[in-house]
């Protein structure tokens, strides 16, 4: 039966400084390694309650519908749009990078009528231009990325933007995949109707889970749908029954990922959000200083540059793929290349969650100095 011999697994030990996954605190890894328990085990159901409480602190929300989906951040994005949109609904997507484009793609697949407002990659939107677009039509949903992982830009003015969207009658979906637990995300204060994120970035857990939070207006819109959500797997009402209701079976949630995720949430809340944001900023500033001296200056102006994900402009003529390959293979350090229009033009360096450590900044800068000069 065996076609060949499969060896013992000896995966490499990487210093993960790309756009995620980030590294795991040993306590998170230890939680991941616990034997499985059933998806209806009282211990797991209690764990869900703790995850909800901790996520409400981190999302800064009181939303009852705060769950963790059994899929990656992309599943979170799809779930957000699939639960709100029905075929023929009008949606406005603000796109200033790869993930804005993905939002538009997903909304279109769901049969929504998608209008895009776009900025060149690396720029952000002004309140005024978004308001002008929001005025044009009665949109059911307005979707925007808070922290664009493809460019390293933070969309500022979120409270004002949400307020304008509400004024013109649209529900606001906010992508916080790269921002949550790394920079300020104030779901309730800003008025965000639906936010989603991913486990493996600033939250510092393994990939595979997508936390989401659904505010009262979005929940009402979901409860008033004419047609069922196209996805059974990502249907929030079924999640609510499994998480908050009578725990009726929906799917077999991965207990190991939940144990690890709850532990990562605990570490984040114990660190404190303000301290965590400061840590991310402090190490980012050290990175930016060092990149400047290596002639790899940050692509994004400091005013709206993300501390958690830095895009560095590459010098002309550099074989960037070869350098990244050496970084990975010789030094076990992962950084990422550019996506889409920024391919070959920038590197993407993440300092997220447990990866955001001073020693990682020093190690990366020193290794790049060796490789480049």
Burial 212-233 (b: 16+ CB within 10 A, else e): bbbbeebbebbeeeeeebbeeb
Residues in the chain, overall count: 373
Instruction: Single out the residue of 334, 338, 352, 353 in contact with a copy of itself (rule: CB under 8 A).
Output: 334
> Does residue number 34 form part of the binding site for a copy of itself (CB under 8 A)?
yes
Instruction: Single out the residue of 188, 254, 281, 367 in contact with a copy of itself (rule: CB under 8 A).
Output: 254
x-or-dash pattern for a copy of itself, window 273-312, by CB under 8 A? x---------------------------------------
Phi, psi (5° rounding) for residue 32? Answer: -60, -35
The closest alpha carbon to 32, from 245, 205, 179, belongs to: 205
> Does residue number 356 form part of the binding site for a copy of itself (CB under 8 A)?
no
Instruction: Single out the residue of 250, 280, 305, 348 in contact with a copy of itself (rule: CB under 8 A).
Output: 250
Number of residues that bind a copy of itself (CB under 8 A): 82
Complex with a copy of itself: residue 13 or 302, whichever CB lies closer: 13
> Does residue number 132 form part of the binding site for a copy of itself (CB under 8 A)?
no
**Distance separating alpha carbons of residues 130 and 292, to the nearest angstrom:** 33
**Nearest-10 Cα torsion for 9, 13, 19, 21:** 50
> Does residue number 263 form part of the binding site for a copy of itself (CB under 8 A)?
yes
> Does residue number 228 form part of the binding site for a copy of itself (CB under 8 A)?
yes
Instruction: Single out the residue of 63, 66, 70, 179 in contact with a copy of itself (rule: CB under 8 A).
Output: 70
Which helix (DSSP H) or strand (DSSP E) does residue 33 occupy?
none
Q: How far is the CB of 351 from a copy of itself (least distance, A)?
A: 15
Q: Is 60 left (phi over 0), alpha (psi -120 to 50) or beta?
A: left
Tokens at 319, concatenated: 């074989």
> Does residue number 141 form part of the binding site for a copy of itself (CB under 8 A)?
no
Q: Judged by CB under 8 A, which stretch of 132-140, 188-196, 249-257, 282-290 contacts a copy of itself?
A: 249-257
Which strand ranges, in their side-by-side order, compose the sheet holding 346-350? 309-313, 346-350, 336-337
Q: Judged by CB under 8 A, which stretch of 70-78, 124-132, 178-186, 216-224 contacts a copy of itself?
A: 70-78
**Distance separating alpha carbons of residues 351 and 305, to the nearest angstrom:** 13
> Does residue number 226 form part of the binding site for a copy of itself (CB under 8 A)?
no
Q: How far is the CB of 306 from a copy of itself (least distance, A)?
A: 17
Tokens at 139, concatenated: 């949109």
> Does residue number 35 form part of the binding site for a copy of itself (CB under 8 A)?
yes
> Does residue number 1 form part of the binding site for a copy of itself (CB under 8 A)?
yes
Q: Judged by CB under 8 A, which stretch of 71-79, 161-169, 300-308, 309-317 contacts a copy of itself?
A: 71-79
> Does residue number 126 form part of the binding site for a copy of itself (CB under 8 A)?
no
x-or-dash pattern for a copy of itself, window 73-112, by CB under 8 A? xxx--x-----------------------x--xx-xxxx-
Complex with a copy of itself: residue 102 or 164, whichever CB lies closer: 102
Cβ atoms of residues 143 and 89 within 8 Å: no
Tally the C-alpha atoms within 13 A of residue 258's C-alpha that lie toward its C-beta: 26
Burial 143-179 (b: 16+ CB within 10 A, else e): bbbbbbbbbbbbbebbeebbebbbebebbbbbbbbbb
């Amino acid at each position: 039966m065996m076609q060949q011999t499969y060896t013992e697994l000896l995966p490499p030990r990487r210093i993960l400084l790309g756009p995620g996954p980030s590294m795991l605190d040993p306590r998170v890894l230890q939680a991941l390694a616990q034997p499985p328990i059933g998806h209806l085990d009282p211990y797991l159901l209690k764990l869900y309650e703790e995850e909800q409480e901790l996520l409400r602190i981190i999302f800064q929300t009181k939303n009852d519908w705060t769950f963790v989906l059994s899929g990656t951040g992309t599943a979170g994005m799809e779930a957000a749009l699939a639960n709100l949109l029905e075929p023929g609904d009008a949606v406005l997507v603000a796109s200033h990078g790869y993930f804005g484009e993905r939002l538009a793609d997903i909304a279109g697949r769901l049969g929504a009528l998608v209008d895009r407002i776009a900025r060149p990659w690396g720029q952000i939107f002004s309140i005024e231009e978004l308001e002008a677009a929001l005025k044009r039509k009665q949109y059911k949903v307005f979707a925007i990325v808070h922290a664009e992982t493809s460019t390293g830009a933070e969309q500022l003015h979120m409270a004002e933007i949400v307020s304008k969207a509400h004024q013109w009658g649209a529900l606001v979906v906010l992508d916080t995949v790269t921002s949550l637990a790394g920079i300020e995300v104030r779901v309730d204060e800003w008025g965000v109707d639906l936010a989603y994120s991913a486990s493996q970035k600033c939250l510092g857990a393994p990939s595979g889970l997508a936390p989401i939070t659904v505010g009262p207006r979005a929940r009402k819109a979901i409860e008033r749908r004419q047609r069922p959500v196209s996805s059974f797997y990502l249907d929030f009402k079924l999640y609510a029954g499994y998480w908050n209701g009578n725990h009726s079976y929906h799917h077999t949630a991965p207990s190991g990922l939940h144990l690890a995720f709850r532990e990562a949430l605990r570490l984040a809340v114990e660190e404190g959000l303000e301290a965590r944001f400061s840590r991310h900023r402090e190490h980012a500033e050290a990175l930016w200083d060092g990149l400047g001296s290596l002639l790899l200056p940050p692509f994004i102006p400091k005013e709206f540059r993300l501390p958690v994900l830095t895009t560095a402009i590459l010098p002309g003529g550099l074989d960037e793929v070869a350098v990244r390959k050496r970084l990975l293979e010789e030094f076990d350090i992962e950084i990422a290349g550019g996506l889409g229009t920024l391919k070959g033009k920038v590197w993407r360096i993440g300092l997220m969650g447990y990866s955001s450590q001073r020693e990682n900044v020093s190690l990366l800068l020193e290794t790049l100095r060796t490789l480049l000069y």
